[in-house]
Structure 1
Amino acid sequence: MNLQTLFEDFNPSKFVVHCCLLTFTIFFALRLDNYITWSYWIVFTPIWIWKSLVILGATVGSYVWWRYPHFRLEGEAYVHYKSMLISLALHLILLMFELLVCDKLESSRHLWILVFIPLIFISIVSIAVCIWAVKHERSFELELFCAVNVLQFIFLALRLDGFIGWSWEVVFVPLWIVMCLSLVGVLYTIIFAVILLRTPDMNAQQKRSSFQSAVGYTFLVIPVLIFQVLLANKLDEDIRMSFIAVVSPLFVSFTTLILMSFSAKGANKWWFGMRKDFCLFILSVCPLLQEYGNIAYQPERRREGVEMEQATDKFDVYIKKADLMKPVLPITSIDMPD
């Protein structure tokens, strides 16, 4: 078991976010189907955990930033810290939207258009954040999702409030467009992977990476498209399915995202003030785990290695003995008389 290979590019932020979203999706679907009768404040517990970790991580990171000024000189510390603050601001606004959604589902005291105002604001701000992220080579998945769906959020709010009477298939038109572009991207990754697999000059690592990307994006986009079709038909009452069956394709997408988080890279090193990769931080905090990671091996390979070392030692001793048997002065040829 090689822990270093398994967690080499592990991104803990994405892992936590996708696990929380998967759990929330299950709880929310069960609540809509009345399999559980929990309050929506309890159903949103995975979301509250996600946001609590964001706030706690940014707080600890800011404390370390101001408490130890010399840490600011480490590489791109300023870029990482600014990225953390921007992400914190967006998550706080998103938290406001989630609180309004939960309150709306519990009490129905205000319009949906008021609930979606924070989300629409995030979508507008995310355009500038995406430009900043591209300039500084930072990841921007959440920001990109909000930026391209601003029109979709407006349609959802108007449809839920009854200001428009369109069918849900028409309401989801902006999302259909996004999904079509995503399908084009998936098709491109598949074609690119096939070309690399048939190219003899490419090494095995590049072929494996392109194949894994194609498989990952396929299992990510196709289930989301299936979910969107089922949800539109469910809301239009064209089919009779439980909500847990409607959202079941999302389980495949979230599982794919969780697996992809182990090779996502790009984690911000200032969350919780770690200043290093997550696995290196864990190994430095837990010496026992570091020792286990260092001595992890397979018995067969270890025996082969010991035998090879013993054979090498014997060979070195033989070479040294042979060197000692060499004469000090060179021997010249002596011609014998006839």
Structure 2
Amino acid sequence: MNLQALFRDFNPGKFIVWLCLAVFTALLALRLDDELEWSFWFVFIPIWIWKGLVILGALIGNIVWWKNPHYRLEGQSYIQYRALLISLGLHLFLLMFEVLAADNLEHGRHAWVSVFAPLILISIVAIAACIWAVKHDRSFELELFCSVNLLQFIFIALRMDGYIRWPWEVVLVPSWILMCVSVVAVLYSIIFAGLLLRMPDVNPDRRRTSMNSAIGYTCLVAPLLIFLITLASKLNGSTSATYASVVSPLYLSYVTLLLMSFNTKRANQWWFGLRKDLCQFLLGVCPLLQEYANISYSMSHTEEGMVASPGSQMSQGVITSEKRDVIGSSRRVDHRVVVPAVSLEVPD
């Protein structure tokens, strides 16, 4: 395990989002099963924490941006700042939807069409945001999710208000289409990884990466498909399963997404005005962490028929970059026999 690579590729924003969604899903399922007597405003606490961190980070980032004009000349500062504003706008609309949804679940005084109106507006704006992100090589997971689910949001709102009487299997047709595309992509990744395993001339790192991608996408898509099937049956009244059991497959997807947050693109560096990745900022604030971030662990390989002693394994378990350089230079030393020079003095 290379801690330096782990810190370099870690995306704290995605980690917090998926963690908050996992806790919120559990609380909402328990509340719908009447296992909890909490108000829906308390059930939405993980969502409020998520949105609060987003708004606070954007506010501090804007203060740093306007108070330090020379920071705007650093690399792609303007692109990242615009991405910050776009993400903040989308999260504000999401916050509006979540406030209306919590209030409607608690008191039932709004039509669901009006509750879903911010989501529908987000889905339209997200199409332009996706085009801008592709043009500037930015990640756009939230924008893509909202844009492809525009029709799904409309169907759910109309079904919950009673304007349409379709069964939930028909209401979720847009989601079925997306899941079919995802399943085809997963099958392609599995076949591609299998082909790479049978090709001896392929780089082992590439082979390992393709296999990890196939496993990750499978663990992400398969639980989502199971969740949609069981949810449609539950909403139609075809099964007596609890909501807690219905959402249980989602936690395999959440675990996969949490693990994938350690190997994703870097987050926007203007959140909280850090101007660098969070892990790099923490390493700068706490210099002692740099020593631990510069450590890599490796298992020692022994020849066939030989057993390594525990002491040798412990001594080779931790190798720092300085030690690695010394070991590499010592291995390149050309061992030659050195003969001392002998001088004979001849008298006159």
TM over 0.5: yes
Q: Which amino acid aligns with 1:270?
A: W
**1:1-338 equivalences in 2 (<5 Å):** 2-294=2-294, 299-301=314-316, 312=330, 322=338, 325-326=340-341
Distance of 1:176 and 1:196 partners within structure 2 = 30
Cα deviation, residue 295, structure 1? 6.3
CA contact (8 A) 2:4 2:294 kept: no
Distance of 2:285 and 2:182 partners within structure 1 = 41
Seen in structure 2, the aligned counterparts of structure 1 residues 302 and 129 have a Cα distance that, compared at 3 Å, is closer
Cα deviation, residue 29, structure 1? 0.2
Q: Deviations along 1:28-57, whole A, 9 cap, x unmatched?
A: 000000111101000000000000010011
Q: Which amino acid aligns with 1:301?
A: Q
Unaligned runs of 5+ in 1: 329-338
Seen in structure 2, the aligned counterparts of structure 1 residues 312 and 185 have a Cα distance that, compared at 3 Å, is closer
CA contact (8 A) 2:2 2:295 kept: no
Q: Which amino acid aligns with 2:10?
A: F
Distance of 1:215 and 1:303 partners within structure 2 = 29
Which residue of structure 2 aligns with residue 333 of structure 1?
Answer: none
Cα deviation, residue 285, structure 1? 1.3
Q: Percent identity between the aligned chains? A: 59
Seen in structure 2, the aligned counterparts of structure 1 residues 210 and 107 have a Cα distance that, compared at 3 Å, is same
Distance of 1:29 and 1:303 partners within structure 2 = 45
Cα deviation, residue 268, structure 1? 1.1
Distance of 1:46 and 1:167 partners within structure 2 = 31
Distance of 1:326 and 1:20 partners within structure 2 = 75
Distance of 1:106 and 1:292 partners within structure 2 = 48
Larger Rg: 1
CA contact (8 A) 1:139 1:266 kept: no
Seen in structure 2, the aligned counterparts of structure 1 residues 194 and 326 have a Cα distance that, compared at 3 Å, is farther
CA contact (8 A) 1:138 1:266 kept: no
CA contact (8 A) 1:97 1:118 kept: yes
Q: Deviations along 1:204-238, whole A, 9 cap, x unmatched?
A: 11111111111101100110000000000001111
What SS class does the counterpart of residue 322 from structure 1 fall into? coil
Unaligned runs of 5+ in 2: 299-313, 344-348
- Mean Cα displacement is larger for which, 10-19 or 285-294? 285-294
Distance of 2:277 and 2:249 partners within structure 1 = 32
CA contact (8 A) 2:193 2:210 kept: yes
Q: Which amino acid aligns with 1:245?
A: S
Seen in structure 2, the aligned counterparts of structure 1 residues 303 and 232 have a Cα distance that, compared at 3 Å, is closer
Q: Deviations along 1:89-134, whole A, 9 cap, x unmatched?
A: 0000010000000000011111000000000000000100000010
The CA RMSD over aligned residues, in Å, is: 2.3
CA contact (8 A) 1:126 1:144 kept: yes
Q: Which amino acid aligns with 1:26?
A: A
